[in-house]
Structure 1
Amino acid sequence: MSSNVVKFYSHTRGPLRCLSNFSEHSFVLRGKTWPTTEHYFQALKFEGSPEEETVRLAATPAEAKRLGRTFSLRPDWEEVKIGIMMDALRAKFTQNLDAKEVLLSTGDSELQEDAKDDAFWGIGKHGRGRNELGKLLVQLREELKRE
């Protein structure tokens, strides 16, 4: 891994915006079209319930995120959430070639979600968060390079 770091967030402009879960890259997964990875991730918190469809149809990714915080989570959420996120990312970046090209163009750089309010998916307020989204994108980038 090089010492280069590529930071992104939902407010990122330009080509790197596609790394954000809020980017407007729809995909088909589980027989449905999802407007963004944020919609998919938040909706799967309520898989099989009416709330799943409510979140999928949210007008914006921010609205999907808000709705994802209002209903009761499925009991296995903590065990399945990273896999669900990877499923969404894999679908997004394999079905949207422009986004795939941008992800591959990051080379060997470390990818960091510059989310000050999220120390799990992002780097958090002090830059020492888990950065799980960045790690998944690096893992996916390596998979795509091997294709």
Structure 2
Amino acid sequence: MSKPIRFYHQNKSYGFFSNFAPYPIYLKDKIWPTSEHYFQAQKFAGTMYQEQIRQAKSPGEAAQLGRDRHKPLCSDWELIKDDIMGEALYAKFTQHPELTKKLLETGNAELIEHTRNDVYWGDGGDGKGKNKLGKLLMETRERIRDEFSSQPN
């Protein structure tokens, strides 16, 4: 098995995996500046706050707005957040051919969001986190690989 690939900062190795990386996605009839914008905005789907997050000047600002607990989250957020992230990742890695190629070039390597800042989406910095982002990226890679292999030549 190949060596695990660790990523976090968008301006370092494998930074394109970061949701802060500047790759717009088209979902729900709108262009979202980054997958972070899309993900954070979906916490407030159907509200004016969703559009405010979409228009945030940076992914950091979108994240900050999305973490504002003075606004009510979608009632089923904890149940749907992984699916929303998966949707964003699939859009990002299929709408940008260069990202499709880079993702597939990782082969079967384990993808790990390496950060102490997050024990759910990341590895917690010590490997004890859930690494949900890395797992969803690997699922996205497998889905794309399967779709490519089933296409007629």
TM range (shorter): over 0.9
| Per-residue Cα deviation, 1:43-91 (whole angstroms, up to 9, x for no partner) | 0000000000000000000100000011321110000000000000011
Shift of 1:11: 4.0
- RMSD across aligned C-alpha pairs, in angstroms? 1.1
> Take 2:126 and 2:117, find their aligned partners in 1: how far apart are those partners?
10
The equivalent residue for 2:150 is: none
SS of the residue corresponding to residue 46 of structure 1 reads coil
> Take 2:44 and 2:121, find their aligned partners in 1: how far apart are those partners?
19
The equivalent residue for 1:9 is: 8
The equivalent residue for 1:109 is: 109
> Take 1:27 and 1:11, find their aligned partners in 2: how far apart are those partners?
17
Shift of 1:142: 0.8
> Take 1:43 and 1:65, find their aligned partners in 2: how far apart are those partners?
9
The equivalent residue for 1:87 is: 87
* Counterpart code for 2:58: T
SS of the residue corresponding to residue 5 of structure 2 reads strand
The equivalent residue for 1:132 is: 132
Seq. identity, %: 45
Q: In structure 2, which of residues 18, 28, 31 is the aligned counterpart of residue 30 of structure 1?
A: 28
SS of the residue corresponding to residue 99 of structure 1 reads helix
Structure index of larger Rg: 2
The equivalent residue for 1:48 is: 46
The equivalent residue for 2:151 is: none
- Contact 2:36–2:59 (Cα < 8 Å) also in 1: yes
- Contact 1:10–1:21 (Cα < 8 Å) also in 2: no
Structure 1 unaligned spans of 5+? none
Aligned length: 145
* TM, length-normalised to structure 2: 0.91
Structure 2 unaligned spans of 5+? 148-153
Higher relative contact order (CA 8 A, sep 6+): 1
Moved more, 122-131 or 132-141: 122-131
> Take 2:132 and 2:120, find their aligned partners in 1: how far apart are those partners?
6
> Take 1:47 and 1:72, find their aligned partners in 2: how far apart are those partners?
10
- Contact 1:122–1:133 (Cα < 8 Å) also in 2: yes
The equivalent residue for 2:66 is: 68
Shift of 1:3: 4.7
SS of the residue corresponding to residue 124 of structure 2 reads coil
The equivalent residue for 2:118 is: 118
